């Protein structure tokens, strides 16, 4: 996105400064993830919404800080998520708990969550503090739901969507809303962008889950099928499950499933499970687009629409 290139570069510089800990281990643990790159999709969305809903088309200092805070919370959640999922690699590089150990990873995550709370408080906007603090509660709730439905072949699509909201969409929805709060947008606009973020976030998670099945390890930066191997049953599989009893049996016998993950992927690919998952992702993308299309007719809206389409194009 050309219009926010400078802001994204500044975000990267600031993130390094913001996580500066007195302690070198904490610093390098935290830094590792920021260095790993990532697509910075969340800040991109927030910057575009900042411009879209402000009168002077300028992203305020507070909105830039909010995007940084959101990225720190996201990173903290990844560090703890990798412990919970026993994930060794992320974005092609080793995870914190692999390079250091579980203990350092627990603390590095805590430290990042704490730093984000500190910067959040210093935004001096209670409405924003309340909106953003909801994200971390939802994240923990989502992760535990995921743990409880591990290898549970009875999981429904509704439960999967709920889990995805808590784990992923809540962060995007709440931070989109908070961005408009900082622009003093009216409640209606705030709620619109909450819904935009919610649908985009759900689509985002479903697309990620499809890529876990269809993608190549080198593109994913982690082994293909690694979610499934952890017992995290996602849309493509849930839609397949109704049809292929062999897959069901494999999941019920967790070890067999883990050992035959490639066979499981093959079964999923041979059904219309992936197509059905794509349909739901597309549905949420359309709901997101419906909210912004026509209402905000300028360059930034065009970019936000482009970004929204870009996400769904990853699986086309």
Site for its own copies, rule CB under 8 A: 21-23, 25-26, 80, 83-84, 102-104, 106-111, 113-115, 117-118, 120-122, 124, 126, 129-130, 133-134, 136-137, 139-141, 143-145, 147-148
93 phi and psi angles, rounded to 5 deg = -120, 160
- Residue among 87 and 233 whose Cβ is closer to its own copies: 87
Residue 124 CB coordination number (10 Å):
9
Which candidate, 277, 251, 275, places its Cα nearest to that of 263?
A: 251
DSSP 95-138: -HHHHS-HHHHHHHHHHHHHHHHHHHHTT--HHHHHHHHHHHHH
By beta-carbon proximity to its own copies, the closer residue of 184 and 243 is 184
Q: Least distance from C-beta 104 to its own copies, angstroms?
A: 7
Q: How far is the CB of 1 from its own copies (least distance, A)?
A: 31
Q: Cβ of residue 163: shortest distance to its own copies, in angstroms? A: 11
* Nearest approach, Cβ of residue 26 and its own copies (Å): 5
Residue in this structure with the two tokens 């790159």, named with its chain if needed: 37
Q: Which is nearer to its own copies, 23 or 61 (CB)?
A: 23
Query: Looking at beta carbons only, is 83 or 224 nearer to its own copies?
Result: 83
Nearest distance from residue 81's CB to its own copies, in Å?
9
Measured from the CB atom, is 102 or 256 closer to its own copies? 102
Full DSSP string of 265-303 = HHHHHTSSHHHHHHHHHHHHHHHHHHHHTTTS-SHHHHH
């Amino acid at each position: 996105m050309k219009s926010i290139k400078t802001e994204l570069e500044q975000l990267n510089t600031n993130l390094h400064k913001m996580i500066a800990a007195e302690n070198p281990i904490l610093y390098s643990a935290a830094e590792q993830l920021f260095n790993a790159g990532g697509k910075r999709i969340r800040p991109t969305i927030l910057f575009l919404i900042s411009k879209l809903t402000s009168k002077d088309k300028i992203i305020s200092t507070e909105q830039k800080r909010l995007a940084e805070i959101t990225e720190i919370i996201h990173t903290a959640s990844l560090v703890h998520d990798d412990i919970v999922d026993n994930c060794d690699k992320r974005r092609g590089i080793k995870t914190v708990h692999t390079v250091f150990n579980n203990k350092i990873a627990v603390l590095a995550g805590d430290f990042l969550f704490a730093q984000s709370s500190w910067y959040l408080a210093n935004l001096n906007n209670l409405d924003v503090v309340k909106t953003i603090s909801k994200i971390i509660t939802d994240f923990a709730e989502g992760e535990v739901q995921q743990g409880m439905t591990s290898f549970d072949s009875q999981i429904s699509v509704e439960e999967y969507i709920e889990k995805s909201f808590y784990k992923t969409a809540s962060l995007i929805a709440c931070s989109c809303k908070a961005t408009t709060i900082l622009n003093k947008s009216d409640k209606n606009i705030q709620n619109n962008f909450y819904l935009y973020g919610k649908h985009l976030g759900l689509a985002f998670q479903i697309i990620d889950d499809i890529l876990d099945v269809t993608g190549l390890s080198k593109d994913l930066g982690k082994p293909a099928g690694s979610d499934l191997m952890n017992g995290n049953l996602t849309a493509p599989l849930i839609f397949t499950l109704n049809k292929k009893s062999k897959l069901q049996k494999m999941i019920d016998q967790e070890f067999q499933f883990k050992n035959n993950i490639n066979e499981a992927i093959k079964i999923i690919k041979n059904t219309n499970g992936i197509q059905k998952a794509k349909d739901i992702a597309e549905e949420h993308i359309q709901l997101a687009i419906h909210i912004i299309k026509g209402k905000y007719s300028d360059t930034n809206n065009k970019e936000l629409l482009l970004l929204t389409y870009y996400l769904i194009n990853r699986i086309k």
